[in-house]
Structure 1
Amino acid sequence: MVATAHNLVSLADTIERRADTRVSLARTGTLRLADAPSSREVRIADLNRDGCRVESILPLSIDQAVTIGIPGIGQNAARITWVGQWDYGCQFDTPLPAGSVTAAMTDNVHDLGYAALRAPATFKWAPRGRLVLLGAISLAGWTAIAVTAGRLLG
């Protein structure tokens, strides 16, 4: 019981010691273990200049060295500072430069401007033209009914 209470207090102290609040990011990033040649896809749940929280099924341990790839920022060396069930707290070896968190939040997919590949614009009637067309169709329908009724009765 004492160890559990101590761990809870320690986690609360860790959260309160953060210099900056973390910003919810929820973007796909990459994580590479220090001794692995390839990176794995992870979800970066939140971020600040000092660290981030990643969600992954990778088996990571506290104080493990990793490299985290964040869209809009790039690769950053970090260490795992806490382990949850499916998420991990990471502290960057060096804080991110000013403006990095904002850069990670912006969409980094840009339109290439291929206007020729877009569908051509469709013709749209002006409101007055739509009313005239609707009136003409209605008049034609009523005229057909009147002609048919005249032939049947006459």
Structure 2
Amino acid sequence: MQTNIAAKLYPLQRTVDRFVVNRPSTMRDQEGAPIDVVIEDISETGCRIRSDAPPMIDDEIRIGIAGIGIRSARVIWNDDRSFGCTFDDALTANDVAMTLEAATLVQGAFEKNGIAAAPETRPADELGPRAKLLIIVGAAAFSWVLFLSAAKAIQFLV
């Protein structure tokens, strides 16, 4: 018994160009949880993102895009490790050019439930490497001033 199966292929016609970026970023899901992702490509209307845990179709997300900031989007497809989303507000050609030239976004002030997230801060008892270096250099300079002052005082007395 022979079965004939016919399929019609429809060409996918894109109205805007996509640009490969392969840039790490941070995405926030509907609950506001941060998720490390890689933006694989971007266009004026959306982007393709690689993630270990892709969101579900129709989920609302917020994605940090280097050079232009944080954008809201809706997931329109997903597979095992990638998903595609469409931006709520389309990017301009200038926005796309800015993200192609920009450095990777390191930190963004994402919003959760309409409230801007507080910037990341260090605990009060933890100093950064620059502050530690300045303290060491300042203490060494102060020690030399004390030493030279003591030497002058001894020389004056003798």
> Is TM (by shorter chain) over 0.5?
yes
Shift of 1:95: 0.1
Distance in 2, matches of 1:59 and 1:103, equals 26
- Does 2:38 match 1:20? no
1:58 aligned partner: 53
Asked if the contact 2:73–2:85 (Cα under 8 Å) also holds between the matched residues in 1, the reply is: yes
> Which has the higher Rg, Structure 1 or Structure 2?
1
Q: Which residue of 77, 83, 92 maps to 2:78?
A: 83
1:68 aligned partner: 63
Q: Which runs of 5+ in 2 are unaligned?
A: 1-6, 105-158
Asked if the contact 2:26–2:64 (Cα under 8 Å) also holds between the matched residues in 1, the reply is: yes
TM-score under structure 2 normalisation? 0.56
Q: Which residue of 100, 103, 112 maps to 2:95?
A: 100
Shift of 1:60: 1.1
Distance in 2, matches of 1:22 and 1:74, equals 19
Q: Which residue of 17, 25, 30 maps to 1:29?
A: 25
1:40 aligned partner: 35
Structure number having the greater helix percentage? 1
Moved runs in structure 1, 4+ residues, more than 4 A?
Answer: none
Shift of 1:46: 0.3
CA RMSD of aligned residues (A): 1.9
SS in structure 2 of the partner of residue 99 of structure 1 = helix
SS in structure 1 of the partner of residue 93 of structure 2 = coil
Deviations 1:99-137 (A, max 9, x none): 11111111437xxxxxxxxxxxxxxxxxxxxxxxxxxxx
TM-score under structure 1 normalisation? 0.58
Work out the percentage of aligned pairs sharing the same amino acid: 33
Q: Which runs of 5+ in 1 are unaligned?
A: 110-154
